Amino acid sequence: MVIMIEIRELTKRYGDVTAVNGLSFTAGAGRVTGLLGPAGAGKSTTLRLLLGLNSPTAGSAAIGGREFRDCPPGPREVGALLDTHSVYCPHVGDTAREFLTGLARRHGIQHGRVDTVLDETGLTEAGQRRVGTFSLGMRQRLGIACALLADPPVLVLDEPLGGLDQPGLVWARALFQRLAAEGRTVLVSGQLPVELADVVDELVVIARGELVAGQRAARLAVRGGRARVSVRTPDVAVLSALLADEGASVEVNDDNSLTVTGLSAQRIGDVAFLNIVPLHELAPEAPVR
């Protein structure tokens, strides 16, 4: 069965704020579709509307012709990852295997799927480790494992590539492309074109809740890929190494500040926080044109 994601004139307002405005696009089966936009562009809101976690003000968001207004799909219908923190925080004392086994039991999923998804996400050796010891990239892999657990025909993943190093990005590309080749519908979001460029078959660019088309979308993508962030920390060497491991380009300036390319300010802040590195400044610079 071919399952398509269809977003039609989707609009969501919160009081005077319009988070999504007349957005339309499709994500077809057998392809990896990327939803690209800066922070605040409306990506997460769009995915929450698609999954029935919020109701639209106008328009529609459907999976296989079905809308899930206020009635989220089950894990056998759609494998979703919207927030790795919600996966991670309640289960810091569990091992990855214990967490996935409990999830499988709760949804009546065969226990053998736990071993399968641990293998698919490269977490087999880490299966006996406590989730609280996982790095950001490993937690992303665990979140993807959760989405895959019921072997669904559709995957909806919000920024699943953040925190993955270069080998992790290569792994994710191979995984998503294989899942799409099996006929699944795969929709992933991201802030940086450098993350999505080699992963997706088709790119949908949005800004301020609206579709960005043609040359304007290309310019936005180029600027996003070259976005720079100014960072100050007393632990320059430590943070530089951590950000380089995340795939960023890090330049140490004469005043000992850092100029970071290839990661958003939000992602840099997450990396610093999770590794207990103090930040004295975290400021996105004007885009390079």
Q: What percent of the chain has pLDDT over 70?
A: 91
Number of domains comprising the chain? 2
Stretch among 188-197, 234-243, 264-273 having the lowest mean pLDDT: 188-197
What is the mean predicted confidence (pLDDT) over 43-70? 95
Looking at residue 16, its pLDDT comes to 93
Mean of pLDDT values over 161-187:
90
Q: Are residues 131 and 209 in the same domain?
A: yes
**Pick from 191, 223, 255: which residue ends a domain?**
223
- Please compute the mean of the pLDDT values over residues 229-245 and round it to a whole number: 90
13/121 same-domain check: yes
- Residue 88 is predicted with a pLDDT of 67
Model confidence at 288: pLDDT above 50: no
Above 70 in pLDDT, residue 222?
no
Q: Provide mean pLDDT across the span 57-78.
A: 94
The CATH number for 122's domain is 3.40.50.300
CB 58, CB 7: distance < 8 Å? no
Question: Cα–Cα distance between 97 and 105 in angstroms, integer?
Answer: 12
Burial of 126 (0-12, 13-18, 19+ CB in 10 A): buried
Q: What is the pLDDT of residue 202?
A: 87
Sign of CA dihedral 45, 46, 52, 58: positive
The last residue of one of the domains, among 223, 243, 260, is 223
Least confident of 88-92, 113-117, 170-174, 258-262: 88-92
* 155 shares a domain with 28: yes
Asked whether residue 73 is domain-assigned, the answer is yes
Domain that includes residue 237, residue range: 227-281
Instruction: Indicate if 216 and 268 belong to the same structural domain.
Output: no
Mean pLDDT of 269-289: 81
pLDDT for 105: 95
* 207 shares a domain with 128: yes
Question: Across residues 132-144, what is the average pLDDT?
Answer: 91
Selected residue with higher pLDDT from 184 and 167: 184
Verify that 172 and 238 share a domain, yes or no.
Answer: no
> Of 154, 139, 66, 155, which is closest to residue 99 (Cα–Cα)?
139
Lowest mean pLDDT among 112-126, 128-142, 152-166, 194-208: 194-208
Same domain (yes/no): 194, 241: no
